[in-house]
Amino acid sequence: MSKRILIGIAGGSGSGKTLVARTLVRDLGSSRVAIIDQDSYYRDFDDIPLADRDLRNFDHPDAFDNDLLKAHVKDLLEGRPIEQPIYDYTRHARLKESNPVGDHAVIVLEGILIFVDEELRDLMDIKVFIDADADVRLLRRIERDIKERGRAIETILRQYEATVRPMHLQFVEPSKRYADLIVPEGGYNRVAIDLMKVKIKDLLRERVED
């Protein structure tokens, strides 16, 4: 058994996964908690024309380099450092630079499709699904994509209708059944976050005693 803890936080795009992960880092301390974002492991489409990249389905499980993600998660659980990819959403390609992640007691893996892969699920000590209404998720996605990813609202809505919503219904929502804890209201649900912190601390204490 690994001495380190892997927390999986899944949910639809805009559900509040990142806020929950950041709240755990703030409450438990960045020296103890590392966040691994599934979005960093999108496949690198730098070898195809930019116009064709926008047509890809980025909400299907095959859009991710799951082999690299699983290898990195296993390395972190064994205390080995990794070089996490940095993804450029404007180009749909990886940067040459990477983000070094060292040894941490708790690894938080967050992403829309992390519960779809059985091997990845089996590595997790706690599986949490962040639940939010579809209209709330869409509004948050629009705000994020305009501010952080420089996208036009027409592009966002077209992608939502073509792939985001259908893939959510086909893959993301059904993966909720694998969760140990379903959290409504995302990062604003302090009761659920406090329960998670208690469980994490209990697991850390057990691993130290072992």
| pLDDT tens readout for residues 158-185 | 989 999 999 999 999 999 999 999 998 7
pLDDT of residue 210: 62
Rounded Cα distance between 121 and 152, Å, is: 35
The full set of domain ranges for the chain reads: 5-200
What SS3 state is found at 134? helix
pLDDT of residue 1: 60
3-state helix, strand, coil in the chain (%, to 5): 50, 20, 30
Model confidence at 8, in pLDDT bands (50, 70, 90)? very high
CATH number for the region 5-200 comes to 3.40.50.300
Residue of 130, 145, 140, 150 whose CA lies nearest to 193: 130
pLDDT of residue 80: 96
Single pTM value for the model:
0.91
pLDDT of residue 204: 87
pLDDT tens-digit series, residues 79-112? 999 999 999 887 888 999 999 999 999 999 999 9
Query: With contact defined as beta carbons under 8 Å apart, do 117 and 70 qualify?
Result: yes
Structure tokens at 65: 């380099």
pLDDT tens-digit series, residues 41-84? 999 877 777 767 777 889 999 999 999 999 999 999 999 999 99
Q: Degrees (nearest 5) of the Cα angle 14, 46, 119?
A: 55
In this prediction, residues 2-24 reach a mean pLDDT of 92
Query: With contact defined as beta carbons under 8 Å apart, do 160 and 140 qualify?
Result: no
Q: Which residues pair with 128 in a beta bridge?
A: 9, 181
pLDDT of residue 170: 97
